[in-house]
Amino acid sequence: MNFPLQLRFKIFAIAPQISVTDASGALVLYIKQRAFKLKEAVSVFADRAQNQPLYTIAADRVLDFNAQYHFSSASGARLGAVRRHGARSLFKAYYEILHDGATALRIHEANPWMKVLDGVFGDIPVLGLFAGYFFHPAYLVTRVDGAPVLRLKKQPAFLEGKYEIRALGAMDETDTQLAVLGLVMIVLLERRRG
């Protein structure tokens, strides 16, 4: 993939849709979350018209406290999963990307105080509307040995979500694919923050 990747979506949408473009501005992925589902269900396409399905992401349970979100190819082959750690994520968001049942990558919030500040200011009438313009959560993707490989950071935006994924280290194609799918799912889960 041609990094940095840009993710954009409307905040006030019944069924969120994220456009992912690469450094040249070309559409790489188009993500649509299904509305009114008890379990998370996300479809990933190669085009805005949603004619070329690439992946699906599906939760393994209704409650997402310790849920796993499984990635499958368009043909139904299992690729991996992202697992949310509920208790560990209360103060600082923490996820693991799994491949063949083992942890391949870890994702954690770079600065947990952003979560606290966003929560405090986001609940203040009128001021809460501007919290997304000033508080920018960031997430680091690291290898199991702790070496950073990607960084997802919220960009200033009003009434829309804008994120950027930057490469910090080399990764193989499989890890890159799993990491980007994991980050997309994290954006969908954490989008109401920042």
Q: What is the pLDDT of residues 6-63, one digit of tens each?
A: 999 987 777 889 999 999 999 999 999 887 766 788 999 999 999 999 999 998 887 6
> 3-state SS of 96-119?
EEEECCEEEEEEEECCCHHHHHHH
Q: Are 165 and 7 in contact (CB under 8 A)?
A: yes
- Residue 129, pLDDT > 70, answer no
CATH number of domain containing 173: 2.40.160
Q: Taking Cα atoms as reference points, which of 139, 60, 54, 136 lies closest to residue 92?
A: 139
63-91 pLDDT, tens digit per residue, is 666 789 999 999 999 999 999 876 555 56
Between CA 152 and CA 35 the distance in angstroms is 25
The structure's pTM equals: 0.88
What's the total number of domains in the chain? 1
Between CA 47 and CA 59 the distance in angstroms is 23
Q: Which residues contact 103 (CB under 8 A, 6 or more apart)?
A: 96, 97, 144
Task: Give the residue carrying structure tokens 């966003």.
Answer: 118
Residue 127 corresponds to which tokens in the numbers above?
A: 């001021």
Between CA 53 and CA 56 the distance in angstroms is 8
Average pLDDT, the chain: 87
Bridge partners, 109 (sequence order): 139
Buried b (16+ CB within 10 A) or exposed e, 160-182: ebbbebebeeebeeebbbbbbbb
List of E strands, the chain = 5-10, 17-21, 27-33, 41-45, 53-59, 68-73, 78-84, 94-99, 102-109, 138-143, 148-154, 160-167
Containing domain of residue 106, as a range?
5-190
- Residue 194, pLDDT > 90, answer no
